[in-house]
């Protein structure tokens, strides 16, 4: 089950904002555990070094990291070409780059709006732009195309967070889901599946690294308790919940699944409509 031996995965955003397990790092490591050769990108050399250390600690040798700005088309193309040179193909693409900034249409600056669209939507567009031709050629050559998994957020369904608004984040993530569906149908006869993991509130290094300061909460522990209380299942998820969903959608067990969204949120969107917090 979920055997990825022989497959090559390109993971954009494979680092973590701090020590520990972010969604991208956990996804990269889990793909490698399942037998895939993994090529990871991140805008931070330090973040990639942390992922490399995790790979090395587990004896996972089929890993290569490259510092890449996924908003820059030429850098993305070079990273994709580097992956092809080293591993020969790309069977799995995970677009995990993103981030949120609070604000309504008046309070959010134009600069931050543009950054939200670039980080959450353009990165996936560029990843697909440069990887899809390789997947299509593979399908023509050996009948094995590829699987793309884009990482979205339940903020795409509601942007209210106890009075806080994230119009840029909500709009870009909703756009990402539409982009995924449209791309899936465009490539459905060309051997490529495209799906989205819609992530809820996760207990990752992001909580202590950024949200504690952004929300003005006294401590990471206080923030974790507040976020846990919002989840019907009783707790936030973690990076492995996201990674497990990604690996399933990327695997052959999901061969009949495309153009869909897998919501990983502990029941938040069903149980607490309008009370959603970005991941």
Catalytic (active-site) positions: 169
Residue 114 structure tokens: 């543009």
Q: Produce one character per residue of 129-138: b if its CB has 16 or more CB atoms within 10 Å, e if not.
A: ebbbebbbeb
Q: CB neighbours (10 Å) of residue 104?
A: 12
Which stretches of the chain are DSSP H helices?
23-33, 45-57, 73-87, 110-117, 123-142, 167-186, 205-206, 212-215, 220-229, 239-250, 268-271
Q: Is 128 helix (H, G, I), strand (E, B) or coil?
A: helix
Task: Give, in order, the Cα–Cα distances in Å from 63 to each of 11, 28, 101, 151.
Answer: 11, 9, 32, 21
Q: Within 10 Å of residue 39's Cβ, how many Cβ atoms?
A: 26
Q: How far apart are CA 277 and CA 279, in angstroms?
A: 6
């Amino acid at each position: 089950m979920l055997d990825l031996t022989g497959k090559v995965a390109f993971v954009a955003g494979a680092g973590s904002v701090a020590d520990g397990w972010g969604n991208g790092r956990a996804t990269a490591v889990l793909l490698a555990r399942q037998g895939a050769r993994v090529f990871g990108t991140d805008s931070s050399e330090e973040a990639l070094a942390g992922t490399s250390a995790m790979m090395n600690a587990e004896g996972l040798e089929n890993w290569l990291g490259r510092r890449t700005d996924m908003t820059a088309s030429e850098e993305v193309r070079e990273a994709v070409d580097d992956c092809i040179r080293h591993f020969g193909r790309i069977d799995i693409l995970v677009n995990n780059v993103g981030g949120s900034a609070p604000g309504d249409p008046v309070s959010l600056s134009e600069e931050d709006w543009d950054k939200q669209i670039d980080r959450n939507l353009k990165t996936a567009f560029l990843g697909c732009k440069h990887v899809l031709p390789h997947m299509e050629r593979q399908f023509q050559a050996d009948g094995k195309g590829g699987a793309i998994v884009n990482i979205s957020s339940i903020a795409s369904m509601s942007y209210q967070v106890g009075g806080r608004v994230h119009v840029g984040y909500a709009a870009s993530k909703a756009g990402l889901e539409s982009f995924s569906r449209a791309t899936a149908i465009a490539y459905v006869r060309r051997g490529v599946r495209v799906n989205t993991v819609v992530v809820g509130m996760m207990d990752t290094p992001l909580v202590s690294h950024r949200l504690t300061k952004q929300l003005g909460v006294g401590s990471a522990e206080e923030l974790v308790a507040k976020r846990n209380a919002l989840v019907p299942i009783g707790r936030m998820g973690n990076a492995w919940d996201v990674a497990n969903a990604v690996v399933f959608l990327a695997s052959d067990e999901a061969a009949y699944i495309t153009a869909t969204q897998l919501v990983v949120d502990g029941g938040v969107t069903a149980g607490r409509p309008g009370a959603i917090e970005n991941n």
